Amino acid sequence: MKNTKLLLTFIFCMMCFSSFSQDDEYMNYKKRYEQNYKDYKDKTISEYRSFQDSINKEFASYISKMWKEYSVFVGEEPEKEPKPKNIPVAEPNYAPENKVEIEAEEIVEKPVEIIEEDVLEEITEDVFEEDVTTEASYDNTSRFSIDLFNPKIALSDVNVFSEIKLSGTDEKSVSALWSKFADNAYAQTAYQIKNIAENKNINDYGTYLLITKTAQTLFPNKPNEQIVYTVYLLNQLGFKAKIARTGNDLIALISVRQLVYKRSYLNYGKDRFYIFTSKPEEIKDCSSIYTYDNLMKNCSKSIDLNFYEPLSLGDKVKYVTVKTDDASEINVKINLEDINFFNNYPHTEMQVYANAEMNDEINNALLGTLSKQIDGKSDLDAVNYLLDFIYASCEYKTDGEQFGYEKPMFCEETLYYPYSDCEDNSILFSYLVRKLLGFDVVLLDYPGHIATAVKIPDEVNGSYLQLEDGKYIVCDPTYFGASAGMSMPKYRNVKLSVIKLNKLKKY
């Protein structure tokens, strides 16, 4: 018995020793693996830095050579046909008795999201440490604050920007400044901005605004230095942008995927490069500018004005009351930073406004209430209820009367501002139908007027369009009191264009 106990004790000790030995072997393997990965990562980062340095040095040399003259085209004007100042009121309780087919002169297809494969994304995230904070207060003097969104954004600073300046706006002076920026210490700001944009769901144009505000903060009262740094940062992030000169002023030329109204541009290949500058009034009548031919390597992205995620900006909010047709009210919380962002947005294509999603808080308040109101209704009755909601909640005024200029609005803006016009009503109505009912919707673009057509499963009398995927019933959310199938009398025999919209995820 004693010998048995000794044997069991010996076996137990050997098992423990074996276990400790296996643990040591695993830990050694883990350390070797981590070291190998670190070595690989350091080597990759070093190679990327060298690669990026070589690109910037090569490009700095390239732009030092004589620039060429390019012709500038005046930006296109938006709809010139005046919108109706007084809208008609439909006959109460009237319902169309016949089916009337209308034809489209032109069909604008749905926008396609272009996914640019960023082969360097994984590397660039590790090249520079994430040094991003949204705290407005800080003591570290190596940081600077970007007062664009609320709260302010703090970024790392290399503490030498104040010493940098252009000696002129000629090719060699611009090249010399680019060479100074090509130091990695300057480049890291680009990746911090990229992280901020991703964290706040800021789109490409928001990224551009962050970059320009950064340049203005680092180079106060130095507009030419701001332009060079803006284009430099855009290029580091892969955007197609160029520096150009008109007189003694430098301007930025930026490729934008969508049409931008009332902004001068030049053509380069298949792209339109729009002029961006802090002094737009000075180049409005400019017939030509000077710039270089080629873009920097690895710059393949155009600024995309679409929103693929709802905005997530600051914390300043305001509650607005939205009326419904049954005299009840819906309280909706509007983010004022989002409104400020939209207020300075370039005037662009209708699809950009119509396809932008509102944030969850607005959806829950507005869609959550409306979904209960249409629950149990037929498809046609639900559509008519949403038309009635627009009539009750949106008081009509033209953009000229409300703002003094033409301004299409995002859905949040239509809820926020006291008045809206035909395109705003149609955009909001199309959003509600797609989110609450899941039906396809198109915009109907008449001269001086915008309405909608909805693919309603029910059999409906009245005006309709026959598109390749089915029948779309005219719904005009500005024709006060009109039900589905009723066209505004003034536009019943007018040529129109169809603007297709994306499907939205149903609420």
Residue 22 has pLDDT above 70, yes or no: no
Phi and psi, residue 343, nearest 5° = -65, -25
Share of residues in the chain with pLDDT > 70 (%): 77
276: pLDDT confidence band, cut at 50, 70 and 90?
very high
Average pLDDT over the chain reads: 84
Core vs surface per residue 105-127: b (16+ CB within 10 A) or e: eeebeebeeeeeeeeeeebbeeb
CA 301/CA 288 separation, integer angstroms: 25
pLDDT at 128: 43
Residue 191 has pLDDT above 60, yes or no: yes
Within a 10 A sphere around the Cβ of 308, how many other Cβ atoms?
A: 13
What's this model's pTM, rounded to 2 decimal places?
Answer: 0.85
Cβ-Cβ contacts under 8 Å for 27 (sequence gap 6 or more): none
- The average pLDDT across 110-119 equals 58
Closest among 360, 318, 362, 361 to 340, alpha carbons compared: 318
Helix (H, G, I), strand (E, B) or coil at 490: helix
Within a 10 A sphere around the Cβ of 493, how many other Cβ atoms?
A: 8
CA 187/CA 198 separation, integer angstroms: 18
127: pLDDT confidence band, cut at 50, 70 and 90?
very low
353: pLDDT confidence band, cut at 50, 70 and 90?
very high
pLDDT at 105: 84
pLDDT at 183: 72
311: pLDDT confidence band, cut at 50, 70 and 90?
confident
Comparing 86 with 163, the larger pLDDT belongs to: 86
Closest among 104, 78, 109 to 453, alpha carbons compared: 104
139: pLDDT confidence band, cut at 50, 70 and 90?
very low
pLDDT at 120: 44
19: pLDDT confidence band, cut at 50, 70 and 90?
low
35-39, 219-223, 292-296, 352-356: which range is least confident on average? 35-39
Cβ-Cβ contacts under 8 Å for 138 (sequence gap 6 or more): 145, 154
- The average pLDDT across 340-355 equals 96
- The average pLDDT across 403-411 equals 95
Residue 130 has pLDDT above 80, yes or no: no
Residue 263 has pLDDT above 70, yes or no: yes
314: pLDDT confidence band, cut at 50, 70 and 90?
confident
Residue 28 has pLDDT above 60, yes or no: yes
390: pLDDT confidence band, cut at 50, 70 and 90?
very high
pLDDT at 277: 83
382: pLDDT confidence band, cut at 50, 70 and 90?
very high
Sign of the torsion formed by the C-alpha atoms of 492, 498, 504 and 506: positive
Residue 475 has pLDDT above 50, yes or no: yes
pLDDT at 122: 46
CA 184/CA 204 separation, integer angstroms: 23
Residue 442 · residue 434 · CB < 8 Å: no
Comparing 45 with 149, the larger pLDDT belongs to: 149
Comparing 402 with 24, the larger pLDDT belongs to: 402
Residue 138 has pLDDT above 70, yes or no: no
pLDDT at 95: 79
Phi and psi, residue 486, nearest 5° = -100, 120
116: pLDDT confidence band, cut at 50, 70 and 90?
low
- The average pLDDT across 445-472 equals 95
pLDDT for 65-91, tens place per residue?
A: 999 999 999 999 987 788 888 889 998
pLDDT at 456: 97
Comparing 33 with 206, the larger pLDDT belongs to: 206
44-53, 103-112, 128-137, 268-277: which range is least confident on average? 128-137
Share of residues in the chain with pLDDT > 90 (%): 59
Which phi-psi region, left, alpha or beta, contains residue 452 (left: φ > 0; alpha: ψ -120 to 50)? beta
User: All domains of the chain, ordered by start, with CATH?
Assistant: 68-73+115-291 (no CATH), 99-112+309-500 (3.10.620)
pLDDT at 137: 35
Please tell me which of 264-273, 305-314, 416-425 the model is most confident about, judged by mean pLDDT.
416-425
Residue 298 has pLDDT above 50, yes or no: yes
- The average pLDDT across 342-361 equals 96
| Cα distance from N-terminal residue to C-terminal residue, the chain | 75
pLDDT for 200-237, tens place per residue?
A: 889 999 999 999 998 988 898 999 999 999 999 999 99
pLDDT at 150: 58
CA 179/CA 232 separation, integer angstroms: 10
